[in-house]
Amino acid sequence: MSTSSPQPTPEPFPIRWAVILMIALVFATIVGMLTYLETNNWPATLLAALAAAGTAVPVLHHLLGT
């Protein structure tokens, strides 16, 4: 009878990705607030915030490594 140790189950949402998404959310919020203060234009604010978040995620993924 061979006994094997049970395989650890992977986390459903790794902490690394939670950190990446949280930093991207903060970055997008800051960019959105600054854009709104400058332009008073909601569509431009949303576009700037989404662009900032979309740019931050791959950059943070690369910076934080695996």
The tally of domains found in the chain comes to 1
Question: Does residue 49 form part of some domain?
Answer: yes
In whole angstroms, what is the distance from residue 28 CA to residue 30 CA? 5
In a domain, 45, yes or no: yes
The reply to whether 39 falls in a domain is yes
Q: Is residue 6 part of a domain?
A: no
**Can you say whether residue 40 is alpha, beta or left, with left for phi > 0 and alpha for psi between -120 and 50 degrees?**
left
What share of the chain in percent tops pLDDT 70?
94
Other Cβ atoms less than 10 A from the Cβ of 49: the count is 21
Q: Residue 2: is its pLDDT beyond 90?
A: no
User: Which segments within the chain are labelled E, that is strand?
Assistant: none
Q: 61: pLDDT confidence band, cut at 50, 70 and 90?
A: very high
Per the structure, the complete domain to which residue 29 belongs is given by 15-64
- Mean of the per-residue pLDDT values of the chain: 90
